[in-house]
């Protein structure tokens, strides 16, 4: 990990995953997903706001025809720890019944949000539901969930960048970093 800081001297951010590492792994995931869904009616469901950058890159890396939809859920608010309460703040715009759904998540952390979303989506009678997460933090699980496509398994640290935020900021970083001082 390398450290970066802004001109004012704070915050200190340690780089965990570089832009090049992210790009390489997302392309690998795209190939794997393309192979697995070659004959499917695939719908990517991007979980906003955190997964939008990962979802865009993954979408471009998948070579089979697919559609994309969005929903928004939150269990963090402006904190660095999950509140434990999941809120669906935006729903899908199209039905998913009979389709192969791939939930695209920025991070599988406590499992609370994913568990809630999977239960909600399965009730809509898709043909299948699987999960692709850029980051997996299994040591922090409160509810067990299976992640079918994992970009990177990371330690139990609060990460930012590449769509992940702290109080709405840092989503624009082109890397995954650990906010060391805030």
Q: Which residue(s) pair with 70 in the sheet?
A: 46
Residues 57, 100, 106, 109: which is the catalytic one? 109
What is the number of helices (H) and of strands (E) in the chain? 3, 10
- Residue 109 annotated as catalytic: yes
Q: How far apart are CA 168 and CA 166, in angstroms?
A: 5
Q: Is the dihedral of CA 26, 65, 164, 135 positive or negative?
A: negative
Contact in structure between 181 and 163 (CB atoms under 8 Å): no
Catalytic residues: 109
């Amino acid at each position: 990990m390398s450290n970066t800081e802004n001109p004012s001297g704070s915050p200190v951010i340690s780089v965990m995953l570089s832009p090049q590492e992210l790009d390489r792994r997302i392309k690998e995931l795209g190939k794997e997903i393309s192979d697995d869904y070659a004959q499917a009616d695939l719908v990517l469901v991007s979980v906003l706001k955190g997964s939008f950058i990962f979802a865009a890159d993954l979408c471009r890396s998948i070579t089979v025809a697919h559609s994309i939809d969005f929903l928004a859920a939150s269990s963090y608010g402006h904190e660095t720890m999950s509140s434990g309460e999941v809120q669906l703040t935006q729903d899908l715009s199209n039905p998913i019944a009979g389709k192969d759904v791939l939930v695209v998540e920025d991070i599988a952390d406590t499992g609370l949000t994913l568990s809630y979303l999977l239960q909600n989506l399965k009730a809509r009678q898709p043909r299948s539901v699987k999960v692709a997460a850029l980051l997996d933090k299994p040591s922090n699980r409160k509810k067990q969930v299976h992640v079918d496509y994992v970009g990177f398994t990371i330690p139990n640290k609060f990460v930012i960048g590449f769509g992940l935020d702290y109080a709405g900021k840092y989503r624009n970083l082109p890397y995954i970093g650990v906010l060391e001082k805030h």
